[in-house]
Amino acid sequence: MERSQYVALRREYEPDNLTLLIVAESPPESGLYFYNPVGRTSEPIFSAFMEQLAIKPTDKAAGLRELQRSGWLLIDATYEPIDKKFKSRDPRRDAVLLRDYPLLKKDILALSAGRQLPIMLIKENVCRLLDPPLTADGFRVLNRGRKVYLPINGNQGHFRRQFGEILFSSGLAAQ
């Protein structure tokens, strides 16, 4: 898929009142895109967010509508699927994220009325690479140097704790 196709799927579920912007790495090569409403509620990243919001949707579309109502929006740092293209420590993976930073910055500015929208970064490399430039550009990054692991491959518990702690410390914990 092209970047515009991913963004079109996401737009369907963008909140009217955006309260938290979550930045992940990229859509997966597998095609299990977060905003594809015909996916499964058991997809790891999707189910992790539903758990954070204490939502048990009947299907993915219903869960995406609940996420929308909560004011949360997940966007990707790049819309080039890089999860299978490069190994996790391959410097080319980081280079793609840095290359696409201007597009990410433009996307964030288009979604927010200013630079004070709370932003949470998830995935180790996204936190490491993008916290400094986003903060330097005046955005309100909640991580403040703290990493949030992606809720896959046994990191679900870490994600739950890390994400929850940052939400709590910023006063944004789900009600």
User: Residue 175: its pLDDT value, please?
Assistant: 42
**Among 73, 139, 133, 148, residue whose Cα is nearest residue 101:** 133
Per-residue pLDDT, 174: 53
Q: Which two tokens stand for residue 26?
A: 């990229």
Give the whole-angstrom CA distance, residue 62 versus residue 54.
13
Per-residue pLDDT of 59-99, as tens digits, reads 999 999 999 999 999 999 999 999 877 877 888 999 999 99
Q: Which domains does the chain have, with CATH numbers?
A: 3-170 (3.40.470)
For the chain, the first-to-last Cα distance in angstroms comes to: 36
Strands 140-141 and 20-24: unpaired
Contact between 70 and 93 under an 8 Å Cβ cutoff? The reply is no
Close Cβ partners of 56 (under 8 Å, ≥ 6 residues apart): 50
pLDDT value at 169 more than 80:
yes
- Burial of residue 9 (CB within 10 Å: 0-12, 13-18, 19+) is middle
- Report whether 23 contacts 72 (CB < 8 A): no
- Average pLDDT of span 125-132: 96
pTM: 0.94
Reported as a pLDDT band with limits 50, 70 and 90, residue 31 is confident
CB burial of 151-175 (b: ≥16 within 10 Å; e: otherwise) equals beeebbeebeebbeebbeeeeeeee
Find all residues with CB under 8 Å of 138, minimum gap 6, and list them. Answer: 115
